[in-house]
Amino acid sequence: MIICPTCHFHTCKFERLSASCFFSYLTYLFNNPATVAMSCMISFWSTAFMEFWQRNQASLMLRWNLMSIEVDTTARPQFAERASYNVYSEITGKLEPMIALNKIIYAYVLTTSTMILLVLVMISAFFGVMIYKVSMSYLILEFDIPAIKDYNQMIASFTGAMISACLIQALTTVFKKLAMWLTNIEYHRTQSQFDYSFIYKNYALSFVNNYSSVFYIAFFKGKFFTHPGDLQHRSYFGGLKSDVCSPTGCIADLSINLMVILSANIFGRMVFTAIFPYIYTRVNAMVKRIYDYDQLPKPQEFQSPVSGS
């Protein structure tokens, strides 16, 4: 069976439906009747795990006498240093540091606008990755190499997922520091308020960073495609309208993207927790040996006594 081209570029040609057999097998590998059973098992297991963990947590709190723990309402030293004035508190009977309302509003406006800007930057970066995938698929068709021509979508999906994974790993460290910096800008009175604000910011940035590409593939990929030969939208967002799934659906692309991203996260965590400390220890030991060797006293050159005449 012959099907229409799946892109708007002039190099896209009619394809045979049999060319999608590999993606069909790959889709069935991740989406089969066993997937339903596994999903049900994971749902029951996660629910049971949470219930038993809450019971265990309650028993530990009772054993450690933490049921009546009081929330710390003491002002942070950083908050007291930045206080505009002090106000007498009838509850504590002491002077409590206070911040002017306009400063608090300015700080929240600045952090909120910065968060929105960072989210837009991340979304733009991942849209750039999607445009790269379209361009890579186009280049593979342009070269017309029979060995890889039939797997152009898979190659583009895999390389795009690798770029997304590297981008996620790089931005995770940067956004964690940015979340801490934005939290320090705000005026949080207690340490618990500071911690909650940092957790919310870090979670929001991490969520958008890790799942932007996944949401695009799952809900938006292929939705902008009109019809084959639509020359009016050939250059729409760098050809993003040509980013469509195979006839078997987007499950294969989604699975490849998730597999690469999760594998990269595991590998990156392993590198930072195991390999880097080992290399750092070995390098420090080598430098210490070189330094100790340089500090050793140098043997003086032997000089023979000069015989007198």
Is 263 a residue whose pLDDT tops 80? yes
Q: What is the pLDDT of residues 27-59, one digit of tens each?
A: 777 778 888 888 899 999 999 999 999 999 989
Query: Domain spans of the chain?
Result: 2-19+121-289
What mean pLDDT is predicted for residues 60-81?
78
Could you give the percent of the chain with pLDDT greater than 70?
78
Sequence-distant (≥ 6) Cβ neighbours of residue 1 within 8 angstroms: 16, 17, 18
Q: Give the pLDDT confidence score for residue 233 in this predicted structure.
A: 55
Q: What is the pLDDT of residues 180-230, one digit of tens each?
A: 999 999 988 888 889 999 999 999 998 988 888 888 888 887 777 666 656
Q: Give the pLDDT confidence score for residue 309 in this predicted structure.
A: 45
Q: Which ranges constitute the DSSP H helices of the chain?
A: 21-30, 33-63, 77-81, 101-143, 146-149, 152-185, 191-215, 251-270, 276-295
Contact 179, 155 (CB under 8 A): no
Strands 95-98 and 2-3, how do they pair? Answer: unpaired
Q: What is the pLDDT of residues 93-152, one digit of tens each?
A: 778 888 888 888 999 999 999 999 999 988 888 888 888 887 787 777 777 666 676 677
* pTM (2 d.p.): 0.70
Q: Give the pLDDT confidence score for residue 302 in this predicted structure.
A: 45
d(CA 157, CA 253): 6
Is 83 a residue whose pLDDT tops 80? yes
